[in-house]
Amino acid sequence: MGNREDLLAGARRCLEEKGYLRTTVRDIAAASQVSMAAIGYHFGSREALLNQALFAAIDEWSDAVGGLAGEGESAEERFADMWDRKVRNFGELRWLWIANVEAFVHAQSSPELLAALAAGQRAARPHVAALLRGVPESEVAEADARSLGSVQIALMTGVMVQTLTDPEQAPTGRELAAGLRGLAALLDEGGGPGAAPGSGTTGGWKS
């Protein structure tokens, strides 16, 4: 490998061992056995190098799991199995998801990184909607991308944080399916935030 590839591999090791925020230029240089000056020459900055290493790891994960499609006879069983697989994956690749969270925090003071994360999020919506629909991405309507895609991404982010915070109490796939059914029932029956006490199947939500 050349210096550029060595630096990417070293940055990947640093992300696994130290995370996004605590990794320094010196750490990357030591892990890659390349001079610190080479980071600026090839990538411009520590941040740009870490971003490339992180995005490459995410792409690698995405290619490997293929959407983590679930198995089962019914749609609900396949949905539950898919989420059980995702929860296990969050635990197995804990370093990757923690690095994602740290990158999001850092992006609030880095317009370039924030723009890259936003672009990735926009691209992910139709992709995950297509996986849920079982159709090619080219056949996903904008409305589905904005609804199904956004909800699935929201679930992924929320379940990921819950799993990283309290792995033993992470929600199961069946619990998530039941929760979505419960939310749908609240919407159908007029319950939810702001509903009158006793309305809906659960008697309304606590504020």
Domain with residue 12: its CATH number is 1.10.10.60
In a domain? residue 34: yes
Q: Residue 153 pLDDT more than 90?
A: yes
Q: Which residue range(s) make up the domain with 98?
A: 66-189
In a domain? residue 12: yes
Cβ pair 204, 198 in contact under 8 A = yes
Q: How many CB atoms lie within 10 A of CB 2?
A: 9
Q: Residue 184 pLDDT more than 90?
A: yes
Asked if residue 80 and residue 30 are part of one domain, the reply reads no
pLDDT digits (tens, 9 = 90+) for 14-44: 999 999 999 999 999 999 999 999 999 999 9
Q: How many domains does the chain have?
A: 2
Q: Which amino acid type is present at position 77?
A: E
Asked if residue 82 and residue 38 are part of one domain, the reply reads no
Asked if residue 99 and residue 30 are part of one domain, the reply reads no
Asked if residue 93 and residue 38 are part of one domain, the reply reads no
For residue 163, what pLDDT is reported? 96
In a domain? residue 196: no
Judged by DSSP in three states, 59 sits in: helix
Asked if residue 96 and residue 147 are part of one domain, the reply reads yes
Q: Residue 198 pLDDT more than 90?
A: no
In a domain? residue 61: no
In a domain? residue 172: yes
195 or 179: which carries more pLDDT confidence? Answer: 179
Asked if residue 83 and residue 13 are part of one domain, the reply reads no
Asked if residue 70 and residue 49 are part of one domain, the reply reads no
Asked if residue 96 and residue 163 are part of one domain, the reply reads yes
For residue 200, what pLDDT is reported? 43
Question: Cα separation of 160 and 153, whole Å?
Answer: 10
Asked if residue 86 and residue 43 are part of one domain, the reply reads no
Asked if residue 173 and residue 107 are part of one domain, the reply reads yes
- What percent of the chain shows pLDDT beyond 70? 88
pLDDT digits (tens, 9 = 90+) for 124-142: 999 888 888 888 999 999 9
Asked if residue 170 and residue 114 are part of one domain, the reply reads yes
Which of 91-100, 135-144, 184-193 is predicted with the least confidence, judged by mean pLDDT? 184-193
For residue 197, what pLDDT is reported? 47
In a domain? residue 195: no
The b-or-e profile of 52-71 (16+ CB within 10 A means b, else e) is bbbeebbeeeeeeeeebebe
pLDDT digits (tens, 9 = 90+) for 52-80: 999 999 988 877 765 556 677 788 888 89
Question: Cα separation of 175 and 109, whole Å?
Answer: 36
- Please give the model's pTM, rounded to 2 decimal places: 0.82
Long-range contacts of 59-63 (CB under 8 A, 24+ apart): 61/93, 61/96
Asked if residue 103 and residue 40 are part of one domain, the reply reads no
Cβ pair 140, 133 in contact under 8 A = yes
Question: Cα separation of 55 and 61, whole Å?
Answer: 10
